Structure 1
Amino acid sequence: MKDIIQRYFDAFNRGDVPAMLDCLSDDVAHHVNEGQVRQGKEKFRAFCEHMNRCYREELIEMVIFSAQDGTRAAAEFIVTGTYLQTDEGLPEARGQTYKLPAGSFFSLRDGRITRVVTYYNLAEWMRQVA
């Protein structure tokens, strides 16, 4: 189970959206930090493409945890990034860099990720890019 999570994050760090999608179930539920739940691969793909336009991020110091029954996993990491293009409702992008701790939680079924939940401190991100 840790393998699929590692593949997902390796793809994230490469900016490889198709490889990320390959790790997901068709009915994936994507719980965005401070946002709405998005259902399905198409909405996940659109979110990732938007994020790749506005941000360049790498996740470092990754630690992956998994439940013994193979149905859940979690990861703790540091997000290092550059704010590339202004995201609606957020401060103006001027190439600011940021670094903050974050975590993700996953549900899994049949070797695929069925739920992705990501948390980070938005107020701290805003402070760093202001």
Structure 2
Amino acid sequence: MIGPQRQWLADYSWDFVTAQNAVLCAAKNALHKPTSDGHDATKALWESHYQDSMGLDDAVDLCRRCHRLAPFCVYNGNTFTAIIRDVVINLNLKSDQNQIVRSLAGHIVAGVASDEETRAFREFCASLG
């Protein structure tokens, strides 16, 4: 945990996560359906932690872990990235900083962040103190 502990994800119930995926799928005429392998495990992980107080970096990591478990047939990364980007938007940062932090958080959730991006995000989290 880096930075202050908050309930960053408390507003995002599993029903919200599922609805977010449904919206993303509908926009692209894609199949919105839970997977047989990852859905139940992801739902259990999310429901056991989303209301916890944690550092922002931990919230990002929970979203990353849930994305990797692939609870839905498509748009898992987009679903959890949209959630963490919404969390960042609610920080009310300056426009340029908001854009950078949202991008960094999204890359970490999607699993495509470089070491430099991850380090920059952790430094940002530490600055929230």
TM-score by structure 2 length?
Answer: 0.31
Q: Which has the higher contact order (CA 8 A, sep 6+)?
A: 2
| Structure number having the greater strand percentage | 1
| Structure number having the greater helix percentage | 2
